[in-house]
Amino acid sequence: MLLNRVSPLELLGEMQRSFSLIDELSRAARPSYSHSNFPPLNGWNDEANYYVEAELPGFAADSLNISLTDGQVLTIQGSRTIDEQREQRKWIRRERGFGSFERQIMLPEPVQEDQVLANFKDGVLLITLPKAAKSQPRRIEVAKG
């Protein structure tokens, strides 16, 4: 019988292949990189300050823009470029991303906008936001550290 030529093992393989195709299609429809979750942020506070820390390896301090709106909405922008122009470059593996990002977060409480500090060291950005209650947008300079 012709049917017998297909072994159960082959059928199983066929099934697995179709499942992995479904997997692939659903992944394609739902991009794994979203602007909203880059950079990853950690936030904590003590009595005096809120602290927001972001992992930004390879970003130049002067490419980072930090601003505060209504004393409570923190916006971080920046970009990282990867030199594509180098001659004779042959990629073997690419895991690191490049391009620009913008991320906004709402702080738990309003802060003192005029006393916000930002420090960038070893690819980690630490923003110190003294607790208060005020409102005025203000641009914060990033200090190289």
Which residue ranges make up the site for another protein (CB under 8 A)? 37, 40-45, 52, 55-60, 82, 86-96, 105, 108, 120-124
- The answer to whether the CB of 116 falls within 8 A of the CB of 128 is yes
Q: At closest approach, how far in Å is the CB of 75 from another protein? A: 15
Please give the C-alpha separations between residue 127 and each of 20, 93, 102, 116, 123, in angstroms, as whole numbers. 43, 33, 16, 7, 13
Which is nearer to another protein, 37 or 136 (by Cβ)? 37
Q: At closest approach, how far in Å is the CB of 98 from another protein? A: 10
Q: At closest approach, how far in Å is the CB of 57 from another protein? A: 3
Kindly state the DSSP code that residue 108 receives in the 8-state scheme: S
Q: At closest approach, how far in Å is the CB of 78 from another protein? A: 12
